[in-house]
Amino acid sequence: MSRTAILRQMQADLQQCRRCGLCQGRTQAVLGAGVPNSRIVIVGEGPGRNEDEQGKPFVGRSGQLLDRMLEEVGLSRNKNVFITNIVKCRPPENRDPQPEEIAACRVWLDQILALIDPKVILCVGRIAATQLFDPHFRVTRQHGETRQLDGRLVMATFHPAAILRNPSYKEMMEADLRKLAQLIEEDGML
Ligand code: URA
C-alpha cells in the first residue's frame, strides 16, 4: 500500500477512535495533511474550531499565518511538508490538552512519524515542544534550538497563535524558520 493509501486508512480509523474523552466533543478527528513522503513534519497542539469542522490541520487564522511564514522559506504543505498535531481531536473551548489525552493520542503521532519517517520535526508551540523537544521547554529561551531525537533533527519554535497575540515574536519565529530552511538545504534534504 502507498503512504497516501495508508494515511487515508488511518484517517478513516481515527474517526472511530475512543481512546480519550475528547472524542465526545469532536465533529471530526484531524489526522494531518500535506505531502506523505516529505522530509519535514510540523507538529502543532490540536485542532481548533475550524480544523474540527473541516477535518484538516491549521486551516484557521493561525494556520494561514503559518502557511505564509513557511512559504517565505520555501516550505509548504503542498510541496514538501506534512502537518499534524499532538492531539487529533479538539479540546473543549480550545483548552490545553491534558496529559492523559496527550498520552492516549500518542499512538497516532507515533504511527504518522513511523510512516512518513521525516528527517526533521518542527514543533510549533509549547505543547508539541514539551512532548518532542524538552519536557521543560521555555519558548522564549529555547526557540530555534535543535536536538537529535531518534535520528531526527528536532527544532521548536513559537505557535502561530502566539504570534497573532504578540506580533513582537514574529521576527524570532521567522529567524527560526530561516535557520531550519538553511539546515535542510545544507543537508540536501529536500
Ligand atoms: N492550532 C494547532 O495547534 N493546530 C491546528 O491544527 C490548528 C490550530
Q: For residue 188, what pLDDT is reported?
A: 84
Spatial separation of the C-alpha atoms in residues 40 and 81, rounded to whole Å: 5
- Distance, CA 1 to ligand 1 centroid (Å)? 29
Spatial separation of the C-alpha atoms in residues 88 and 15, rounded to whole Å: 10
Residue 121: pLDDT over 90: yes
Angle at 21 between CA 16 and CA 27, to 5 degrees: 55
Check residue 44 and report its DSSP letter: E
Angle at 175 between CA 169 and CA 180, to 5 degrees: 125
- What residues does ligand 1 touch, defined as CB less than 6 Å away? 44-48, 51, 57-58, 62-63, 85
Task: Copy the grid coordinates of residue 154.
Answer: 528536532
- What is this structure's pTM? 0.97
The closest residue, in CA terms, to atom 7 on ligand 1 is: 58
Q: For residue 179, what pLDDT is reported?
A: 98
Mean pLDDT within 124-134: 98
- Distance, CA 176 to ligand 1 centroid (Å)? 19
- pLDDT higher at 183 or 188: 183
